[in-house]
């Protein structure tokens, strides 16, 4: 299908009934409740995969909302710990107050990290759009000074990332490497697919070569292959890195990495606020969005 058609499809998404988006997008979201999420984590564990839970919720503007999100994380952490499953949590800094006041985000994250630490659990800060890059890195570094089991994500499309990684390496941070999902201007972000892939490979290589733990989050075979080559060249054991993938994306690649003996963690989003996350995933993959639009129009499955 042409890129123009794909753009048209993506532009039409807001007109699609929410119920239909929900049905098609359900492969990307574990459900609305913590029990739904734990059932998904259990199914992944049966496949040999680990998980990280993300409570959906963005564009938070009130302090009480951030505290409600913090409390949901505390409940999720306790539930994971008592289930005995191999899972941790991923937190979007703006969901706990970074856009309101960095000290509020620090306070909420401190509570989350303290609860996780009491169970020996790791906490990851996701990386959001560029207005929050610097404040997220600072938040992660500040938390890391108190809680060793804290990590952050870094985006290969941002030109600054290679330099930012120096600070994270100095702190021996567990870093998740991803390409980046937000739309950023060319002044600050690489735009070519090949350039972003090169950047991804260079970041992973720099981090692993420095002896730090890398979480390699991609579904791109080329990025996986280059990471595997780096791991092989450095003769690293499977305890020095993990692969990460999103729930619902490329189970074949997931299976092949697990079968080859690599550790793999699946990002499992859940919660009532599923719509923004789901439409972002659909925009990323217009071929799925196309099925939604065809169903809306009463047409049969796409060829
Ligand atoms: C575990 C995890 C955590 C992440 N955390 C962050 C974060 O903190 N901040 C951030 O900005 N981004 C994050 N991302 C998102 C990441 O930046 C995007 O997924 C990125 O746009 C796609 O990267 P890719 O490496 O899969 O490569 P791409 O080149 O985009 O995709 C490679 C292949 O995977 C397929 N694919 C990719 N995404 C999907 C999808 N949603 N549905 C179906 N097929 C798909 C493509 O069709 C393509 O064939 C995370 C991703 C993962 C896997």
184 lines ligand 1 (CB under 6 A): no
Topology (CATH) of 30-273: TIM Barrel (3.20.20)
List active site positions. 126, 176
pLDDT at position 246: 94
**What is residue 105's predicted lDDT score, i.e. its pLDDT?**
98
Does 285 contact ligand 1 (Cβ within 6 A)? yes
Domain positions in the chain: 30-273
- Ligand 1 centroid to 82 CA: how many Å? 30
Q: Is 182 in the pocket of ligand 1 (CB under 6 A)?
A: yes
Residue with the smallest CA separation from ligand 1 atom 50 is 178
Annotate the chain with three-state secondary structure.
CCHHHHHHHHHHHHHCCHHHHHHHHCCCCCCCCHHHHHHHHHHHHHHCCEEEEEECCCCCCCHHHHHHHHHHHHHHHHHHHHHCCCEEEEECHHHHCCCCCHHHHHHHHHHHHHHHHHCCCCEEECCCCHHHHHHHHHHHHHHHHHCCCEEEEEECCECCHHHHHHHHHHCCCEEEEECCCCCCCCCCECCCHHHHHHHHHHHHHHHHHCCCCEEEECCCHHHHHHHHHHHHHCCCCHHHEEEEEECCCCHHHHHHHHHCCCCEEEEEEECCCCHHHHHHHHHHCHHHHHHHHHHHCCCCCCC
Ligand 1 contacts CB of residue 6 (under 6 A): no
State the pLDDT at residue 263: 98
How do the pLDDT tens digits run along the chain, 303 residues long?
Answer: 445 555 665 666 676 677 767 776 678 899 999 999 999 999 999 999 999 999 987 668 899 999 999 999 999 999 999 999 999 999 999 999 999 999 999 999 999 999 999 999 999 999 999 999 999 999 999 999 999 999 999 999 999 999 999 999 999 999 999 999 999 999 999 999 999 999 999 999 999 999 999 999 999 999 999 999 999 999 999 999 999 999 999 999 999 999 999 999 999 999 987 777 677 666 666 666 665 555 555 554 444
Q: Is the CB of 226 under 6 A from ligand 1?
A: no
Which residue, 181, 184, 299, is CA-closest to 249?
181
Distance 160 CA to ligand 1 centre (A): 20
218 CA distance to ligand 1 centroid (A)?
6
Which pLDDT does position 275 carry in this prediction?
74
């Amino acid at each position: 299908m042409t890129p123009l058609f794909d753009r048209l499809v993506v532009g039409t998404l807001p007109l699609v009934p929410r119920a239909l988006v929900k049905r098609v997008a359900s492969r990307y979201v574990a459900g609305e409740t913590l029990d739904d999420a734990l059932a998904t984590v259990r199914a992944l564990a049966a496949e040999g995969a680990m998980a990280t839970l993300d409570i959906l919720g963005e564009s938070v503007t009130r302090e009480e909302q951030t505290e409600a999100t913090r409390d949901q994380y505390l409940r999720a952490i306790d539930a994971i710990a008592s289930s005995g499953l191999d899972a941790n949590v991923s937190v979007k800094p703006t969901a706990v107050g970074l856009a309101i006041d960095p000290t509020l985000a620090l306070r909420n994250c401190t509570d989350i990290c303290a609860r996780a630490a009491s169970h020996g659990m790791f906490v990851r800060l996701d990386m959001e759009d560029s207005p929050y890059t610097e404040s997220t890195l600072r938040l992660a570094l500040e938390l890391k000074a108190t809680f060793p089991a804290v990590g952050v994500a870094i985006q290969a499309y941002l030109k600054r990332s290679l330099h930012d990684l120096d600070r994270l390496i100095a702190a021996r941070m567990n870093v998740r490497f991803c390409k980046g999902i937000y739309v950023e201007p060319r002044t600050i972000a690489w735009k070519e697919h090949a350039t972003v892939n090169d950047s991804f490979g260079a970041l992973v290589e720099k981090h692993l070569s420095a002896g730090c733990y890398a979480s390699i989050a991609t579904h791109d075979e080329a990025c996986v292959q280059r990471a595997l080559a780096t791991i092989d060249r450095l003769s690293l054991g499977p305890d020095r890195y993990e692969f990460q993938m999103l729930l619902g994306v490329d189970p074949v690649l997931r299976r092949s990495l697990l079968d080859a003996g690599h550790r793999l963690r699946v990002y499992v989003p859940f919660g009532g606020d599923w719509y923004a996350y789901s439409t972002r995933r659909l925009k990323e993959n217009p071929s799925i969005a196309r099925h939604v639009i065809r169903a809306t129009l009463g047409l049969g499955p796409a060829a």
